[in-house]
């Protein structure tokens, strides 16, 4: 083992969150090392957001085109899977991270390829694929940004059936004639949309009563309705108890709780995520391996003032854009906390009396993780939401009013697609007179979301929203209709 290398900050994990925090700390003049055992860019770039959207875009574009007069007849044919896969492969960089490595170098970060583990306070031990070992020490902060991985439940026969997880679902090179999907999550809904469009006969087995259980009920209902119309089978209230595969490449059979069986050619388990912390040395700093890492709003660990955790691993919001946001917040907090101490050992700057000076860095807090959390599900129709659902808001004790409107009745939506089907809901906090949340479901609805996110994050009074005039005949006219409906409901 070589002599320990010293840096101001060591980042464990080079996904979007790890990249963003390295960018901020390097920009602040803090020497920063980044450790990654796989590809720089992480899950999102190679096995999640980017490849899934590359697979979905042709499906959604074809669905939109089929609703446009004069164009529908021209797009009745099937998708070209090879062309779709080539499009996906381009956007994943063919699963090579050369460009991301160049970017890390350009910001001044020091990259270490290998498996990193905490090795006591402010120490990270790195083991390369070739078995070489070295230790990195952090003068100020270690940031854990190792993300999450797909959960594969311990069902009889499942391991031997070689199920797909989200990684295989976004990187497969052949279209399975029949695809079984277990779960009702975002991954389940998006991959059902993509693979049904690519030619698979999709069956979705949902233990709960609907798809997309974390969104407003009408979101899952509209998505399920569209999937059924496209030829997929959506079965709710069913539980898989065992899995059987015929040989190495034969059909796979899911055995349900009632004894019924469902057969497919591949099986995708879309049943949740778990933190990638089981082998990163948490036990060396008094934390439990395999657990999420609790943090405060500056993304600092509750256990150690030098330890930060950003992205999925802290379990605040398992969304790439939120992980990047957290990284920007944590990077700013670390930079402010250790301003002027680059290359110097010790903790944060202190005041004249030796007390820890938090005034500079405590304002950097990740409020959007709870107050204005946006998410888009890229199904057909798209489902986009910010803030809590009506049920969640009421359970949290808010006095709210839900305002609904048929999105298809907006002129811009009707021009967007013949027979447009969709729905919008805004939640008004009656005590504060501001928007608490909003949900939009329909083709192209994702582009409506950021306006709602701004209104929620900015706590814009509903009375002021009347003066944000939507352009006609854009789909954003939905805002006027929601406000009119809210006014009329006041009686």
pLDDT in tens, 217-235: 999 999 999 999 999 999 9
Domain spans of the chain, in order of start: 5-41+97-149+275-363, 159-271, 381-489
**pLDDT tens per residue, range 68-110:** 999 999 998 899 999 999 999 999 999 999 999 999 999 999 9
Predicted confidence at residue 343, as pLDDT, reads 65
Compute the average pLDDT of residues 444-468: 96
The reported pLDDT for the residue numbered 166 is: 97
Residue 379 has pLDDT above 70, yes or no: yes
The pLDDT score that the predictor gives to residue 152 is 94
Q: What is the pLDDT of residue 340?
A: 65
Mean pLDDT of all residues belonging to the chain = 94
Does the pLDDT of residue 348 top 70, yes or no?
Answer: no
pLDDT digits (tens, 9 = 90+) for 39-55: 999 999 999 999 999 99
Mean pLDDT of 111-138: 96
Asked if pLDDT for residue 344 goes beyond 90, the answer is no
Question: What pLDDT band is residue 371 in, cutting at 50, 70 and 90?
Answer: confident
What pLDDT is recorded for position 363? 67
* Structure confidence at residue 247 (pLDDT): 83
Residue 178 pLDDT more than 80? yes
| CATH number of the 381-489 domain | 3.30.390.30
Percent over 70 (pLDDT), the chain: 94
pLDDT computed for residue 338 by the predictor: 86
Q: What pLDDT score was predicted for residue 342?
A: 61
Q: Report whether pLDDT(330) > 90.
A: yes
CATH classification number, 5-41+97-149+275-363, choose in 3.40.50.1820, 1.10.3720.10, 3.40.50.1000, 3.50.50.60: 3.50.50.60
> In CATH terms, are 5-41+97-149+275-363 and 159-271 the same topology?
yes
**What is the pLDDT confidence band of residue 353, given thresholds at 50, 70 and 90?**
very low
Say what the pLDDT of residue 359 is: 52
> What confidence category does residue 370 fall into, taking pLDDT thresholds of 50, 70 and 90?
confident
Secondary structure string (H, E, C) spanning the chain: CCCCEEEEEEEECCCHHHHHHHHHHHHCCCCEEEEECCCCCHHHHHHCHHHHHHHHHHHHHHHHHCCCCCCHHHHCCCCCHHHHHHHHHHHCHHHCCHHHHHHHHHHCCEEEECEEEECCCCEEEEECCCCCEEEEEEEEEEEECCCEEECCCCCCCCHHHCCECHHHHHHCCCCCCEEEEECCCHHHHHHHHHHHHHCCEEEEEECCCCCCCCCCHHHHHHHHHHHHHHCCEEEECCCEEEEEECCCCCCEEEEECCCCEEEECEEEECCCEEECCCCCCHHHHCCCCCCCCCECCCCEECCCCCEEECHHHHCCCCCHHHHHHHHHHHHHHHHHHCCCCCCCCCCCCECCCCCECCCCCCCCCCCHHHHCCEEEECCCCEEEEECCCHHHHHHCCCCEEEEEEEHHHCHHHHHHCCCCCCEEEEEEECCCCEEEEEEEEECCHHHHHHHHHHHHHCCCEHHHHCCCCCCCCCHHHHHHHHHHHHHHHCC
Answer yes or no: is pLDDT of 354 > 60. Answer: no
Residue 346 has pLDDT above 60, yes or no: no
* pTM attached to this predicted model: 0.93
Residue 1: pLDDT above 50? Answer: no
For residue 490, the model assigns a pLDDT of 79
Q: Is the pLDDT of residue 352 over 50?
A: no
- pLDDT band of residue 59 (cuts 50, 70, 90) is very high
Q: Are strands 266-269 and 178-182 parallel, antiparallel or unpaired?
A: parallel
pLDDT greater than 60 at residue 360: no
Summarised one tens digit per residue, pLDDT across range 274-294 is 999 999 999 999 999 999 999
CA distance 75 to 327: 42
> Is the domain 159-271 a CATH 3.50.50.60 member?
yes
Q: Among residues of the chain, what percentage have pLDDT more than 90?
A: 89
């Amino acid at each position: 083992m070589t002599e320990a290398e010293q840096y101001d900050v060591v980042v464990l994990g080079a996904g979007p969150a790890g990249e963003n925090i390295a960018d901020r700390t390097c920009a602040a003049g803090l020497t920063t090392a980044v450790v990654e055992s796989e590809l720089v860019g992480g899950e999102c770039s190679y096995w999640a957001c980017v490849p899934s959207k590359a697979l979905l875009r042709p499906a959604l574009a074809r669905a939109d085109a089929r609703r446009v007069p004069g164009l529908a007849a021209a797009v009745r044919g099937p998708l070209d899977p090879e062309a779709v896969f080539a499009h996906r492969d381009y956007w994943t960089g063919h699963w090579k991270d050369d460009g991301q490595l160049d970017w890390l170098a350009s910001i001044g970060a020091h990259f270490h390829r290998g498996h990193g583990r905490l090795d006591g306070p402010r120490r990270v031990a790195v083991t390369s694929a070739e078995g070489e070992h070295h230790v990195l020490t952090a003068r100020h902060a270690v940031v854990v940004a190792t993300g999450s991985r797909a959960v594969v439940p311990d069902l009889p026969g499942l391991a031997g059936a070689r199920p797909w997880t989200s990684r295989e679902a976004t990187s497969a090179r052949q279209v399975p004639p029949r695809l079984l999907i277990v779960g009702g999550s975002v991954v389940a809904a998006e991959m059902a949309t993509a693979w049904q469009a690519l030619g698979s006969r999709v069956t979705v087995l949902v233990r709960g009563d609907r798809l997309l259980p974390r969104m407003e009920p009408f979101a899952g209902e509209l998505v399920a309705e569209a999937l059924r119309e496209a030829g997929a089978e959506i079965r709710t209230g069913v539980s898989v108890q065992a899995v059987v595969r015929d040989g190495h490449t034969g059909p796979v059979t899911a055995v349900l709780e009632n004894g019924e069986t469902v057969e497919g050619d591949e099986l995708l388990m879309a049943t949740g995520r778990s933190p990638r912390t089981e082998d990163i040395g948490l036990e060396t700093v008094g934390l439990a391996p395999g657990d999420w890492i609790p943090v405060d709003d500056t993304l600092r660990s509750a256990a150690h003032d030098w330890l930060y955790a950003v992205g999925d691993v802290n379990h605040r919001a398992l969304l790439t854009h939120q992980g990047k946001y957290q990284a920007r917040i944590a990077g700013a907090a670390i930079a402010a906390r250790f301003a002027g101490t680059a290359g110097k050992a010790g903790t944060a700057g202190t005041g004249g009396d030796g007390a820890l000076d938090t005034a500079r860095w405590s304002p950097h807090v990740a409020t959007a993780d709870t107050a204005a959390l946006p998410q888009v599900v890229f199904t057909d129709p798209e489902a986009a939401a910010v803030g809590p659902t009506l049920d969640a808001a009421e359970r949290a004790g808010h006095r709210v009013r839900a305002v609904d409107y048929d999105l298809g009745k907006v002129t811009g939506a009707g021009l967007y697609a013949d027979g447009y089907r969709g729905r919008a809901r805004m939640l008004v906090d009656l005590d504060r007179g501001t928007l608490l949340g909003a949900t939009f479901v329909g083709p192209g609805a994702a582009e409506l979301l950021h306006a709602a996110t701004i209104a929620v994050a900015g706590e814009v009074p509903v009375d002021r929203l009347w003066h944000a005039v939507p352009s006609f005949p854009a789909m954003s006219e939905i805002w006027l209709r929601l406000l009119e409906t809210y006014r009329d409901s006041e009686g």
